Amino acid sequence: MPTTATISPGAAISLVANELLHAAERTSVANARQLDQLADLLDDAERVFVYGAGRSGLALRMTAMRLMHLGLDVHVVGDTTAPAIAAGDVLLTASGSGTTESIVRAAERAASLGARVGLITTADSSPLADIADVRVRVPAAQKLDRSAEASAQYAASLFEQVVVVIGDGLFHALWQRQGTSADDLWPRHANLE
């Protein structure tokens, strides 16, 4: 078994937080126009559909919940209650590689029906990037990159963390556009628990 240096949980948390801060700031600076366009896309949508695989999909589910709190009509692709996508809708996707087959197929189908496609990715060019109306590029490692050059974290962890931050940033910007208070949003939280 190879020997590796150990790191305390506290040091690991600091490493993750520092990488996330750096990547999120680089993303916001390099993609300022694209982030504005993505916010406009979501704001103008009849309905918003989110779709990602694995942890990227989980990150987008968090975004879906926040957009629902704003009063947007939001659906997670694959959920049994998700309706069919149509013209006027937006498909928000996240794929580090931009090549995840199921997401590419969904984006192709959405675009063919007149829906707009937003993409959060690490890839400058990919099948998804070619389809997307708006693409936000995150400076993070892809899932299969084990070089530790872009991130010391495992696999695509940094990308997935930035997807969460982008989602929360989009939510916050759209919330400020609405001019509503936290009290206005609160009634949309689940109250059956």
**How far is residue 186 CA from its own chain's centroid?**
23
**Side-chain half-sphere exposure of 93, counting CA atoms within 13 A:** 34
Which among 158, 138, 160, 140 is positioned nearest to 150, based on CA atoms? 140
108: annotated active-site residue: no
| Contact call for residues 126 and 152 (beta carbons, < 8 A) | no
Contacts of 95 (CB under 8 A, 6+ apart): 52, 53, 56, 103, 119, 120, 121, 126, 128
User: For residues 105 and 93, what is the distance between their CA atoms, to the nearest angstrom?
Assistant: 12
β-pairing, 48-52 vs 74-76, is: parallel
| Contact call for residues 90 and 39 (beta carbons, < 8 A) | no
Q: Which of 25, 108, 160, 193 is catalytic?
A: 160
**Residue 173 burial by Cβ neighbours in a 10 Å radius (0-12, 13-18, 19+):** middle
Active-site residues, by number, are 160
